[in-house]
Amino acid sequence: MDPGLLVSDLLDTNAMTALIVCKDGSVKYINKTYLDILGKKEEAVVGKYIGDITPETRTLISLMTGKAIVGYNWSVNGYNMIACSLPLIKNGEIVACFAYSLFLDIWDAKDLVNNLMSELNMYKDEVHHLYSARHDFAEIIGQARNIQDVKFLAQKAALHPSITVLVTGESGTGKELFAHAIHKASSRSRMPFIRVNCAAIPENLLEAELFGYEEGAFTGSRKGGSPGKFELANGGTIFLDEIGEMSLSMQSKLLVFLQEKEFERLGSHHPIRVNVRVIAATNRNLKEMITQQKFREDLYYRLNVLNLDIPPLRERIQDIPLLASYLIPKLNRELNTCVTSMSDEALDIFCKYDWPGNIRELTNVLQRAMILADMENYLTITAKQLVFMKNHNETKDDSSSKTLRSLIRDYEKQILAKVLEETDYNKSKTANILDIDLSSLYKKVKQYGLTPENF
């Protein structure tokens, strides 16, 4: 195909104006669209000096300087265009200038920008929602002295927006709830609240996740690099959940950040300073981990500026009726059920139970009981809907006819099933609670057939 024909075909479009001006300023080529806008015939333009046709032309500047002029506002006969003038260079010499318009009408550009802006605002809202605290102190239910004391301390922490807080407590006691509430009640509330689950991110990725990276910092790194969670949280709060699972080498890097308040992105030597409040949480006994050399003592003291130790539910059983009456209407909305209350007998079962999974377990048990009650058209949860709980509390005594090994196996299976249920079948949490390796948990789950379908 004739290459000349292809270029003129390309340029002869009504979507843009196109003009080629020779080094001496004479017009070499002009497309039909531009001729129509100028209101001229081809022979009145081609071969003529461009300065005589459009005196304000930038093509002459491009020819003189050899520099491209990109994206300027160009108005001709009522058409508001965005145009570009590009010098054409051959063997180091300026030979011509090519000028074209990006938009025939600036309103097209404005529409595009407006569309992009509304899209951008939508994403900003989304990110704000994703990176904002969703719970406040009003959602932390409890009249018992021990929880009231912790709540009081947490409200004080909210008033000091730079204090580092360490939230400890058993699984399901409300550690995350407290972190949200502190951020929301603090002067940082309009800024991001960013949660990082240190247990869920593989060790080799956690550093990049927290501190970000530069382009090319590692294979597979994103073009242009990426900010880390510390940068994203600037002005706000970073919630380092399950801090007890952080590797020792990552603990050292975190310690440096807490001391210096600055860090470098992976693959960069440029320090970045941020202003973030750190709230860390764990259900592990960090002091014990220090003695086992699994947690750095210096980091522990840096994090433990203020400790909120949330009491387990069994140490505040007087709150159980209150929690039930708070959770029942909430769960009714989620489950589309219409349960109104609990019988005295059912409440008694609740108060006598140990609640190793704390409020999360209480919520799950209530959910199950409410579904059962609803299926049987009960408005009140009675002992009948809690039979599955009683089974957990009672261990059948048929030991006389069994060998020690099979008794131990039965007991192990029972414990595993119980903890898996309490953690919503979360294997890493289960392994954690029982203090066994994840790999041996997988083995046992398989051995005892404790697959989710069997629950």
- Residue 333 CB, nearest approach to ligand ATP (Å): 14
382 by Cβ neighbours in 10 Å (0-12 / 13-18 / 19+) ranks as: middle
356 near ligand ATP (CB under 6 A): no
Q: Does 209 bind Mg ion (CB under 5 A)?
A: no
Among Mg ion, ligand ATP, none, residue 385 binds (CB under 5-8 Å by kind):
none
Q: Which does 360 bind (CB under 5 to 8 A by kind): Mg ion, ligand ATP, none?
A: ligand ATP
Strands 69-76 and 79-90: antiparallel
The region of 99-107, 170-178, 264-272, 342-350 touching ligand ATP under the rule CB under 6 A is: 170-178
252 binds, among Mg ion, ligand ATP, none (CB under 5 to 8 A by kind): none
Rank residues 276 and 280 by Cβ distance to ligand ATP and give the closer one: 280
Minimum distance of ligand ATP from residue 173's CB (angstroms): 4
CA distance 420 to 133: 28
Number of shown-chain residues binding ligand ATP (CB under 6 A): 16
Which of residues 31, 101, 168, 171 is near ligand ATP by CB under 6 A?
171
Give me the half-sphere count of Cα atoms (radius 13 Å) on the Cβ side of residue 432. 19
Question: Please, what is the Cα angle at 326 between 184 and 152, to 5 degrees?
Answer: 40
What is the closest distance, in whole angstroms, from the C-beta atom of residue 151 to ligand ATP in the complex?
Answer: 8
Collect all residues with Cβ–Cβ distance below 8 Å to 133 and sequence separation of at least 6: 179, 180, 181, 183, 184, 189, 193, 237
| Conformation bin of residue 185: beta by default, left when phi > 0, alpha when psi is -120 to 50 | alpha
Q: What is the size of the binding site for Mg ion (CB under 5 A)?
A: 2
Tell me the window of 104-112, 173-181, 225-233, 254-262 that interacts with ligand ATP (CB under 6 A): 173-181
Q: How far is the CB of 279 from ligand ATP (least distance, A)?
A: 11
Question: Interacting stretch for Mg ion, rule CB under 5 A, among 20-28, 52-60, 103-111, 168-176?
Answer: 168-176
Show the binding pattern over residues 316-355: x = contacts ligand ATP (CB under 6 A), - = does not. ----------------------------------------
C-beta of 139 vs 264, nearer to ligand ATP: 139
How many angstroms separate the CA atoms of 450 and 410, rounded? Answer: 12
Please give the Cα distance from 351 to 355 (Å, whole number): 9
- Applying CB under 6 A, among 133, 185, 349, 359 the residue interacting with ligand ATP is 359
Burial class (CB within 10 angstroms; exposed 0-12, middle 13-18, buried 19+) of 82: middle
Query: In angstroms, rounded to a whole number, what is the distance separating the alpha carbons of residues 321 and 326?
Result: 9
Cα separation, 386 vs 172, in Å, equals 20
Distance of CA 193 to the CA centre of its chain: 9
Q: Give, to the nearest 10 degrees, the angle between helix 358-375 and helix 320-335.
A: 60
Strands 271-273, 306-309: parallel, antiparallel or unpaired by DSSP? unpaired
432 binding ligand ATP? (CB under 6 A): no
Among 169, 176, 183, 265, binds Mg ion (CB under 5 A): 176
Looking at the DSSP bridge assignments, the partners of residue 251 are: none
Is residue 174 a contact point for ligand ATP (CB under 6 A)? yes
Give the nearest residue (CB) to Mg ion: 176
Closest approach of Cβ 175 to Mg ion, in Å?
5
Q: What gap in Å lies between CA 321 and CA 166, rounded to an integer?
A: 29
Point out which residues bind ligand ATP (CB under 6 A). 139-142, 169, 171-177, 283, 359-360, 363
Point out which residues bind Mg ion (CB under 5 A). 175-176
